[in-house]
Amino acid sequence: MEARRIEGITLQTLLEQQQSLRAQKAYELLKVKTLQTTPEVYTELAGREGNLIRARVSHAEGSTVELLIGERTRLIAENMSSYRLEEGDLVELVVESTNPLTLKVVSLQRFLSLERVFELLFSQKAEFYLPLDENRLAQSLKGSGLFYERELLNLALGKTRPEELMQDKKAQLLRDLMPLVKEFSKLLALEYENTLEGYRELYAKVKESAEKLQRLLEAFKTLTLENLSHKDYANTVRVLYEKGYGPALERRDHPTVIKALVENLEHLSPQVLQKVKEALRSLELLSEDKGDVGKLSQELLRAIKEGKQEDIKKAYTLASSFLADSERLLQAYQQKGEVFGALLGRLEFIHQLQQNLAKLRDAFYVPVYFEGGRGGLVFAKKEGYKVFISLNWGQDFVFCLLNMPQKGKYVDLRLFSNMEPFVRWAKAEEKTIRGMLSEEGLELRNYHVNLGKKEELKEELIKTFAGEGFFMVV
């Protein structure tokens, strides 16, 4: 009988440590870009920026997917990543950008057979791995961030010291994240709610503001010739000199240069003409924004279209002053925005995992990393505890299967590997393992070490966990 199970996939940007903190993508972000929607749906979704949107994939063909939001709202979108969405997938999304409307998938659930779950387990396709300490497995899991709130309570009760709490991954993430939250909150003059949702909303606003500023700045640099290549600049300057704008160029009279550029579009080279049109189109799109960037873009665009020198100068001066005042925000985002997003992504991953484990405490799967090996830890509780740990180094592997009754004081332990040196070592260490368990008040009832191939173990493992039902988080 095929047992149906749930695989939960949480895809988030992660932060890795290498000499100093640096942001790195551990996987390709899963995003969908809308292809078809109504103005009403667009307005509704765009207004939910920063909030979770739950949807079901009602149809998928190639890179095109149809999302059903609620009972009636349908959205045709393009899957922008190499990860394939399938019909029936349940997804949680957040609005990443509104032009075009792009949604980031932060959680995905898919019904799978138990056999398929183990195929994924053996294939090492997880996107994030919790690192395990080489000497203390229990301590590694304790400090993984999954139990941060409990450790925080222990700190308040005097059972944990501050330096012990700071060994927790979630505590470390919050330590690194909070200075960025405070800095960007101050730069935007925005208050934030001291919750994950509050941090997410702040980051969304920071990202949106910085991207709009960058687009406005790029349009400015094009219209004032700063964004042109040396060849394009020389050709454009020659055209403007011939039209009598040499003095304006020499005194860097940008408003006059902008007016001259737009009035002589037909004399520009195709490359420069394309760039100027893109800059004007960018201003047109930005003018739809309801904030300061939108108002300034609207005024500058209106002045350019009407061709009044005084109006162009006034609009340019206001926008130029605004960009100068906003330079700190733009620089901060360019230097720290990626790190901010990466820290937030890692925190969201742990939070999502905590929620999943809270709902399904009796069965779960966590990808793990140990001494260069990637694998997972599967836990199931039903009339006893069953734990399966897999670690893979390319073609080589070590698997551990542990059984223990809920009320008993004994353990059954089986080790599997295709590495003969490990098998010989594990057999020789039986006495040591018995002694270690004895110190914990446990008896090693059965101990077996097997040399074999992965395929030989899969069927036995499926039988071992059949009927347990677990939630797999990869």
Confidence of residue 44 (pLDDT cuts 50, 70, 90): low
The reported pLDDT for the residue numbered 182 is 92
Please tell me which residue, 197 or 151, carries the higher pLDDT value: 197
User: Does 9 have pLDDT greater than 60?
Assistant: no
What are the pLDDT digits (tens) for 205-261? 889 888 888 888 888 888 888 888 888 888 888 888 888 878 888 888 888 888 888
Per cent of the chain over pLDDT 90 is: 5
Q: What is the predicted pLDDT for the residue at 425?
A: 93
**What is the rounded average pLDDT of the residues 340-355?**
78
Please report, for the chain, the start and end positions of each structural domain, with discontinuous segments joined by +.
1-125, 168-351, 360-474
Reply yes or no on whether the pLDDT at 359 is more than 90.
no
Tell which residue, 440, 401, 404, 399, has the closest CA to residue 423: 399
CA distance 206 to 119: 41
Most confidently modeled range among 193-197, 218-222, 426-430: 426-430
Checking 22-30 for CB contacts under 8 A at 24+ apart, the result is: 22/339, 23/338, 23/339, 23/341, 23/342, 24/342, 26/127, 26/128, 27/127, 27/128, 28/81, 28/82, 28/83, 29/81, 29/104, 30/79, 30/81, 30/83, 30/104, 30/105, 30/108
Confidence of residue 466 (pLDDT cuts 50, 70, 90): low
**HEC string for 326-368:** CHHHHHHHHHHHHHHHHHHHHHHHHHHHHHHHHHCCCEEEEEE
| pLDDT for 426 | 92
Closest CA to 391 of 32, 121, 158: 121
Amino acid, res. 221: K
The predicted structure's pLDDT at residue 242: 83
Matching residue, tokens 């260069």: 372
% pLDDT > 70, the chain? 69
pLDDT above 70: residue 53: yes
pLDDT band at 473 (very low <50, low <70, confident <90, very high): very low
Residue 330 gets the label, from left (phi > 0), alpha (psi -120 to 50) or beta, of alpha
Kindly indicate the confidence band of residue 20, based on its pLDDT and cuts at 50, 70 and 90. Answer: very low
Q: Greater confidence, 229 or 23?
A: 229
Give the DSSP per-residue string, 29-71.
Answer: --EEEEEE--HHHHHHHHTTTTS-EEEEEEEEETTEEEEEETT
* Mean pLDDT lowest among 37-46, 89-98, 265-274, 328-337: 37-46
| Residue 132 predicted with pLDDT over 70 | no
Question: What's the pLDDT at 133?
Answer: 57
Position 367 pLDDT exceeds 70 = no
Query: Whole-angstrom Cα distance, residue 96 to residue 221?
Result: 26
Residue 352, pLDDT above cutoff 80? no
User: How large is the average pLDDT for residues 270-297?
Assistant: 85
pLDDT band for 2, please (50, 70, 90 cuts): very low
The total number of residues written for the chain in this structure: 474
Place of tokens 């309801």: 290
433 neighbors 447 (Cβ within 8 angstroms): yes
Q: How far apart are CA 168 and CA 150, in angstroms?
A: 11
Tokens 């959680």 -> residue: 107
Q: What average pLDDT is seen over the chain?
A: 74
Alpha-carbon torsion 50, 56, 59, 62, what sign?
A: positive
- Residue 22: its pLDDT value, please? 23
- What local confidence, expressed as pLDDT, does residue 164 receive? 79
Predicted TM-score (pTM) above 0.85? no
Question: What's residue 58's pLDDT?
Answer: 87
